[in-house]
Amino acid sequence: MSAVAAASLLEVEDLRVRFALPGRHLVAVDGVSFRIEPGEVFGLVGESGCGKTVTCRSLIRLFGGSPPKSIDGTVRFAGRDLGTLDAREWSALRGSEISMIFQDPMTSLNPTMRVGAQIAEGLQQHRGLGAREARAAAIDMLGAVGVPAAERRHHEYPHAFSGGMRQRVLIAIALACRPKLLIADEPTTALDVTVQDQILKLILKLRADLGMSVLLVTHDIGVVAQTCDRVAVMYAGKIVESGTTAQVVTRPAHPYTRALLAALPAHTRRGEKLRPIDGEPPNLAQPPAGCRFHPRCAFAVEACRAVVPPPIEVEAGHRSACLRALEIG
Amino acid sequence: MSAPSSERWRRLAGNRNLQVGLAMLAALLLAGAFGPHLVRWDPIEIDFAAALQRPGAAHPFGTDELGRDVLARVLAATFVDLQVVAVCVVLPFFIGSLIGLASGYFGGWFDRALMRLVDVLLAFPHYVLVIAIVGSLGPGIANLYLAFALVVWISFARIVRAEVLVARRAEYAQAARLLGYGHARVMLRHILPNVITPSIIFMMSDVVLTILAVTSLGFLGLGIQPPTPEWGLMIAEGRTFLQDAWWISVFPGLAIVYVGITFTVLGEGLDDFLRPKG
């Protein structure tokens, strides 16, 4: 594995992100490590508040209005340690080498700019294209993401586009500069199911066309199963299980992954009640001792209350942070 | 703001306030531009023989105590007053909007310091401050502009800052940062166009407040100096004759009322036009 590992596009090692709350700290991401290989679709899955989004935002160091108190650990992108970049280098990297698309296409476009101009802006900024070339490239890009009549629609404003079309526009903006890594934070959550499927297929197609890697963040393990090569499951700020999609989805070795899969409506017979995960996600300001999942875990034993389970390799490339991983998997 | 042109015309066609406001403004500007040339009398020339004549065929608005034609003076004052008002509104609009934009965008100590300053300034009524500044620096146009710029920007800064606080968290603003754009570009190109509308609409009501303030300062002798025709000054000069020659003060007063109504209606119309509801 070491030859592959050396060529990883993104290496995240022991990422730890702390936020300051009045009088205490909250560790939103607690020792997360993963790698993304070139051309790979990597899924990060978990329920709301488990630290998926904070993980993404730490990769690009943009947090909107509420920056964390500290970010520890190393993030390497294409061999560069991102911890050492200054503001100028970050600006050159964002949107150019690493791009991101957001959850809500309705609010992520600037309502006062024509969509073509929004796509072209990045090309002018990062690639030094002239206004005319950038415009032509923007129209091409709009066509490439499947917006019909791109020639005519590039000078319309976002309000004239439907949700699915706006997500396509956002993808066009994110990919205009041909980034090596696309971070897609719940790109389909705000869309209806048929459009979701189209957008996922589009992302997969563009991944192949452009040869980029994708970090797909979602709470929907069904989406992961459809699209990802490898996946990591997050719970309460930690990665609890990781492996290839086939390993994780068909032979889950962590009780949380099993519970997530069991909760899918497709795994429930008609007339049967859905199987939710009992209890609630832990408060990250006061996480439970030992394994963070033990209060909700059907497999918990006495030791789970005391010991923080280390990742155990249950098969090649498939790790689970559970004391009973080998029995469960 | 983002409507295509045909849509824009349709919205204008259904917006009575905007139509009336624009028509009134056009009439005002035409009167100011061509009025003085159409009147036979000079607004400054003194003619004691014709002093204090009632409105009639020769002098439709009558004459003042120095025999000057009131109509000619009211018309000549139009551009004087509009010019002063425009500067007194536009200057604070630019200063205030940019300060509000930067303050809301960067936040932190810069924002806190600025907003405390705004709180202090807000403790005084705007125009008391203006009068205090002009009073201490001495009357005159330049000091008037300076006073308005120093005081009135806070209204615009507050309006824009409040909008920026919302807009800077909007995903499109974050997305712009994410695409590697610098702060200046994100602020001016991505946030400003989305937050400026309330400020533009407030500018219309500010015109109404400012015309009153400017004419009041003229009335108090702190603004434009005689013999330049100015509405507030004319009212002040006419007040000693109010019982015998009401027309000296009333016609410039009506002109002020007209400007006030014009910009109130225009502001209402612009509000509907730029911020369509529902």
- Is the pLDDT at B20 greater than 90? The verdict is yes
* Mean pLDDT rounded to a whole number for chain A: 87
Query: ipTM value of the model?
Result: 0.71
Same domain, yes or no, for A14 and A71? yes
Vertex B230 angle, CA B228 and B236, to 5° = 110
Same domain, yes or no, for A81 and A217? yes
**Is position B210 within any domain?**
yes
Same domain, yes or no, for A89 and A120? no
- For residues A184-205, average pLDDT: 85
Side by side, which strands form the sheet with A70-77? A24-36, A10-21, A70-77, A80-81
Residue A109 with chain B: CB contacts under 8 Å: 172, 175
Tell which of A159, A178, A197 closes a domain. Answer: A178
**Looking at per-residue confidence, does B78 or B4 come out higher?**
B78
Burial class from Cβ neighbours inside 10 Å (0-12, 13-18, 19+) for residue A28 reads: buried
**Is position B89 within any domain?**
yes
Residue bearing tokens 């030992």: A290
Which of B105, B179, B195 should we substitute to test contact with A (largest number of A Cβ atoms within 10 Å)? B179
pLDDT of amino acid B207: 87
Same domain, yes or no, for A186 and A174? no
- Closest listed residue to residue A297, CA positions, set A266, A251, A260: A260
Residue A112 with chain B: CB contacts under 8 Å: 1-2, 193-194
A252-306: per-residue pLDDT in tens? 999 999 988 888 877 777 778 888 888 888 888 888 888 999 888 888 888 888 8
The alpha carbon of residue B14 is apart from the nearest alpha carbon of chain A, in Å, by: 21
Banded model confidence at residue A321, pLDDT cuts 50, 70, 90: very high
Round to whole Å and give the CA distance between A125 and B23.
44
- For residues B14-35, average pLDDT: 89
Round to whole Å and give the CA distance between B194 and B253.
38
- For residues A15-38, average pLDDT: 89
Q: What is the dihedral of CA B95, B98, B101, B107, to 10 degrees?
A: -80
Contact A121 B179 (CB under 8 A): yes
Tell which of A131, A161, A178 closes a domain. Answer: A178
B175: nearest CB among A108, A112, A126: A108
Contact A65 B169 (CB under 8 A): yes
* Mean pLDDT rounded to a whole number for chain B: 85
**Is position B160 within any domain?**
yes
B194: nearest CB among A92, A112, A159: A112
**Is position B153 within any domain?**
yes
Same domain, yes or no, for A244 and A308? yes
Q: What is the dihedral of CA B210, B211, B217, B223, to 10 degrees?
A: 100
Q: Which residues of B touch A (CB under 8 A)?
A: 1-2, 4, 107, 168-172, 174-182, 185, 189-190, 193-194
**Is position B11 within any domain?**
no
Side chain identity, residue B129: L
Residue A91 with chain B: CB contacts under 8 Å: 180-182
Distances (CA, A) of A173 to A94, A144, B49, B240: 12, 11, 77, 70
The alpha carbon of residue A128 is apart from the nearest alpha carbon of chain B, in Å, by: 13
Domain limits for position B143 = 69-274
**Residue of chain A whose Cα is closest to the Cα of B192:** A112
Tell which of A178, A199, A230 closes a domain. Answer: A178
**Looking at per-residue confidence, does A4 or A282 come out higher?**
A282
- For residues A127-137, average pLDDT: 89
Same domain, yes or no, for A173 and A319? no
Start-to-end CA distance of chain A, whole Å, equals 22
Residue bearing tokens 């992520």: A108
Contact B172 A173 (CB under 8 A): no
Strand-pair category, A238-244 with A230-235: antiparallel
Contact B193 A112 (CB under 8 A): yes
Round to whole Å and give the CA distance between A121 and A117.
6
Same domain, yes or no, for A205 and A75? yes
Round to whole Å and give the CA distance between B52 and B67.
6
Instruction: Give the CATH number, domain containing residue A29.
Output: 3.40.50.300
**Residue of chain B whose Cα is closest to the Cα of A123:** B179
**Is position B166 within any domain?**
yes
Q: Tally the domains of chain B.
A: 1
Domain limits for position A231 = 2-97+179-328
B180: nearest CB among A96, A108, A159: A96
B219-248: per-residue pLDDT in tens? 888 877 777 888 888 888 888 888 888 888
Same domain, yes or no, for A134 and A75? no
**Is position B77 within any domain?**
yes
Same domain, yes or no, for A243 and A308? yes
pLDDT of amino acid B161: 94
pLDDT of amino acid B277: 62
Same domain, yes or no, for A196 and A298? yes
Residue pair A91/A277 in contact (Cβ under 8 Å)? The answer is no
A60: nearest CB among B168, B178, B181: B178
Same domain, yes or no, for A319 and A203? yes
Q: Tally the domains of chain A.
A: 2
Round to whole Å and give the CA distance between A252 and A244.
11
Same domain, yes or no, for A211 and A126? no
Banded model confidence at residue A193, pLDDT cuts 50, 70, 90: confident
Which of A105-109, A234-238, A297-301 shows the lowest mean pLDDT across its residues?
A105-109
**Is position B201 within any domain?**
yes
Instruction: Give the CATH number, domain containing residue B135.
Output: 1.10.3720.10
Look up the pTM and report it.
0.76
B163-190: per-residue pLDDT in tens? 998 888 888 888 888 888 888 898 998 8
Banded model confidence at residue A188, pLDDT cuts 50, 70, 90: confident
**Looking at per-residue confidence, does B2 or A295 come out higher?**
A295
Percent of chain B with pLDDT over 70: 97
**Residue of chain B whose Cα is closest to the Cα of A89:** B180
Residue A96 with chain B: CB contacts under 8 Å: 180
